Structure 1
């Protein structure tokens, strides 16, 4: 028996598990109560086959739907797997992890991403969106790297935590439009020269905590193409798609 498992009853007695969103008692640390789970917006039903954008049920059950944005500008990635749509509860969880240092939330958040991947066949490299070293020193951890590590364990794939690097610091992207974000990120993310052999020809699962405008993942895609990767899929805990929030949730995927 592992020490952590042996000490679980003691830890639970001293620090009773609580829902990180509302403080209600829960069965185990790192889980949500049913009321807060019900408030998460989990994509369900029909989705765009290229980007997994929820598209509602008015089309019946379809597998080949393509959303208007992908028709206008086909994505260069092989798909997006987002556990939730960005709303107030998912935002709170992200902030608790990123700024509240609640790294105990990572296993739950990663478990919620896995079902959206739809199964990963063959060999993939799990690569997190990088932080600049100054921000990493201030925060003490890269939340995307923690999620990537957990996803690698859950999927049985190899983690390449330093596959991408961020040699140039960028300003906070909050409040910037897509063009301004793209300008700020231009050249800021690069493939790690020490990992070029591993990246070349590889299939990459690119991991981030939140996908907002897509500018950060676009910058990562540019860097990965420089490294001549074969394919890139994007995995994130939450995705900003305000127009899709009416598509509710999938009650079968519980956070555990």
Structure 2
């Protein structure tokens, strides 16, 4: 252990830790510099119980939902997000998703875990939103799987990476309307038949990088429930900004 610590110290002197967002020097590995931190919109305070978006006002003990979740009832029971999908947070997510910045996943999962602590009861099983195998071949990794694995490690939770599968390669949802997104994802996700016993009666924590309309998360949730899960809760790294929600 002593030798390992000495090696780490020597490496850090030669290669000082860099900010995950701007590559400037920081004090700790997997850290964010002060300038970037101020441009990361972490979510706190009163939040929507459906998606985790911040709400104005004080929590009065009753279930609170944003206009988006009230207008589109969610099949999952609770949801949380660590960040708003804006500014530096958006750059960080895009780097993880499309820029091979897999080093972001561990720190990001820690932020997600802190945001989700209040919904992790009932011995849940953690699983990611799946990619189709053809997209995995092109991208080489599933960013949601990286987040889910690190999230489970943070909380020492049960983790199964392949509870769900994409039945066919769905097209990109970018620039599609809400209705188009839901039509595209309808029945596109299924539970692996060999994992039926794992899902039966369990609470599932579903992990993804970004929530926009919720169409992909809804398809995954419905697949879990059809396979016998008792409840599904969702946790995402970032929530796409909606208009200001009031209680």
Question: Which TM-score applies when normalising by structure 1?
Answer: 0.87
Deviations 1:204-226 (A, max 9, x none): 00000111111110111121121
Structure 1, unpaired ranges of 5+: 246-256
- 1:4 deviates by 6.6
Q: Which residue does 2:19 correspond to in 1?
A: 19
With 73-82 and 159-168 compared, the bigger mean Cα shift is at 73-82
- 1:5 deviates by 5.0
Q: After superposition, where does 1:45-84 map in structure 2 within 5 Å? A: 45-57=45-57, 60-64=58-62, 65-84=64-83
- 1:61 deviates by 4.5
RMSD (Å), alpha carbons: 2.2
Q: Which residue does 1:86 correspond to in 2?
A: 85
Asked if the contact 1:78–1:231 (Cα under 8 Å) also holds between the matched residues in 2, the reply is yes
Deviations 1:160-207 (A, max 9, x none): 100001120011111111111122222221111111111111100000
Deviations 1:89-125 (A, max 9, x none): 1111111112221211111101101121134223111
Q: Which residue does 1:100 correspond to in 2?
A: 99
Q: 1:177 to 1:4 in 2, by over 3 A?
A: farther
d(CA) in 2 for partners of 1:85, 1:136 = 26
d(CA) in 2 for partners of 1:105, 1:6 = 25
d(CA) in 1 for partners of 2:224, 2:89 = 28
d(CA) in 2 for partners of 1:150, 1:74 = 29
Q: Secondary structure at the match of 1:23?
A: coil
With 46-55 and 87-96 compared, the bigger mean Cα shift is at 46-55
Moved over 6 A (4+): none
Deviations 1:123-177 (A, max 9, x none): 1110100000011111111111111111111112110100001120011111111
Query: What is the count of residue pairs matched by the alignment?
Result: 244
With 96-105 and 230-239 compared, the bigger mean Cα shift is at 96-105
